[in-house]
């Protein structure tokens, strides 16, 4: 998608001008992928404020063929030390490249000192990330596909009886991840969380050899990856007829999640979105049992800006992709989390994870 990547680079140039630099050394591989489409493991970009004609892309000889296909619209430099090679290019042509900014949050002290021996660099952190926080339609489509792969995998798992007493958490995790691959995922978005019984009260439990048992809550937090974009979804099930306390906790989290989703809108303060869901749980006397933020941005990284939390700062904008994932965790008994990935839109948000949120008894 050269046109898409070209538009992103053009948008970044406005931020370079505002930051007072003539060029930006981009070294973070996710940011490079966002700006160029390159998916290899070694690259750097020297993006010029004046246009692509003066912008340079550098990778090493392993990726000559791949970079020609993925980055057909930028001049190439071939060098194993990609970032250093572009710094040297800028240092030799100060008239063209002028004041050069760099991603100071992604460059080590040692690298900075090495670069500075040739060129005075200006700290310009987070410029590409400012663009990445609002997704374009190509990104939203990749997110839709990733969410669909996860939804279909969950449907298959349930239809095959994959959640049943006697299976281990690890067996369920491997089964679910394999099914996501069958539906177009290149790999899980993160290590799947399968948490049964008392383990479901641990927000980020790692799957173990513990067996699922009748009467357990079983919490599944998982996601698929498509074209580098991540989905994120949590659903909580009950094996066998739920106890009254389980229905009560589930219904509470379900109501809180719905309140959080309703609060997602352009212009909404991120802290207020968190508060909309949190007050439902706090009002029921379980405030201390909801100890994490309501959600986060999702895209090329599974966790990225914005942060939907009481301590979060800023407002939502149309096109942001976020999760809404309240939970109630009762230590030693069990817990519930319900999570969706959605896109901020004018009016109602676009829900990307479509698996039912009603209490499912398996």
pLDDT at 71: 98
Residues of the chain with pLDDT under 70: none
The verdict on whether omega for the bond into residue 175 sits within 30 degrees of 0, i.e. cis, is no
Domains and CATH numbers, the chain: 2-132 (3.40.350.10), 137-361 (3.90.230.10)
pLDDT at 27: 98
pLDDT at 62: 97
pTM, rounded to two decimals? 0.96
Closest CA to 126 of 146, 107, 153, 99: 107
Separation of alpha carbons 120 and 23, rounded Å: 12
Q: What is the pLDDT of residues 163-215, one digit of tens each?
A: 999 999 999 999 999 999 999 999 999 999 999 999 999 999 999 999 999 99
Helix (H, G, I), strand (E, B) or coil at 355: coil
Separation of alpha carbons 174 and 181, rounded Å: 11
pLDDT at 2: 83
Separation of alpha carbons 42 and 81, rounded Å: 9
pLDDT at 33: 98
Q: What is the pLDDT of residues 89-136, one digit of tens each?
A: 999 999 999 999 999 999 999 999 999 999 999 999 999 999 999 999
**In this structure, is the dihedral angle defined by the CA atoms of residues 27, 31, 35 and 37, taken in order, positive or negative?**
positive
The residues, ordered by sequence, that sit 6+ positions from 261 with a Cβ below 8 Å of its Cβ are 324, 340, 342, 349, 351
């Amino acid at each position: 998608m050269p046109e898409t990547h070209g538009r992103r680079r053009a948008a970044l140039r406005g931020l370079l001008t505002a930051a007072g630099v003539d060029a930006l050394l981009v070294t973070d591989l996710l940011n490079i992928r966002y700006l160029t489409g390159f998916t290899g493991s070694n690259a750097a970009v020297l993006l010029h404020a004046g246009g692509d004609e003066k912008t340079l892309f550098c990778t090493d000889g392993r990726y000559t063929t791949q970079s020609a296909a993925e980055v057909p619209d930028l001049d190439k430099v071939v060098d194993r030390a990609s970032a250093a090679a572009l710094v040297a290019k800028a240092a030799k042509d100060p008239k063209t490249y002028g004041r050069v900014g760099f991603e100071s949050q992604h460059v080590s002290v040692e690298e900075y000192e090495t670069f500075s021996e040739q060129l005075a660099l200006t700290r310009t952190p987070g410029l590409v990330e400012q663009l990445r926080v609002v997704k374009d339609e190509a990104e939203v489509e990749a997110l839709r596909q990733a969410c669909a792969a996860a939804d279909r995998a969950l449907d298959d798992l349930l239809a095959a009886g994959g959640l049943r007493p006697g299976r281990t958490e690890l067996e369920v995790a491997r089964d679910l991840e394999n099914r996501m691959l069958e539906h177009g995922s290149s790999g899980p978005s993160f290590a799947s969380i399968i948490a049964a019984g008392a383990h479901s009260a641990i927000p980020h439990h790692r799957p173990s050899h513990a067996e699922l048992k009748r009467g357990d809550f079983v919490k599944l937090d998982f996601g698929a990856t498509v074209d580098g974009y991540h989905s994120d979804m949590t659903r909580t099930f009950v094996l066998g007829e739920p106890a009254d306390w389980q229905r009560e906790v589930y219904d509470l989290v379900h109501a809180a999640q719905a309140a959080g989703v309703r609060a997602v809108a352009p212009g909404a303060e991120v802290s207020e979105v968190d508060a909309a869901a949190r007050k439902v749980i706090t009002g029921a006397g379980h405030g201390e049992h909801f100890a994490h933020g309501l959600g986060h941005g999702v895209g090329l990284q599974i966790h990225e800006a914005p942060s939907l939390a009481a301590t979060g700062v800023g407002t939502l904008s149309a096109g942001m992709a976020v999760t809404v994932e309240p939970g109630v965790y009762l230590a030693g008994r069990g817990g519930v989390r319900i999570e969706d990935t959605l896109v901020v839109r004018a009016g109602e948000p676009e829900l990307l994870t479509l698996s039912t949120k009603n209490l499912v008894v398996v």
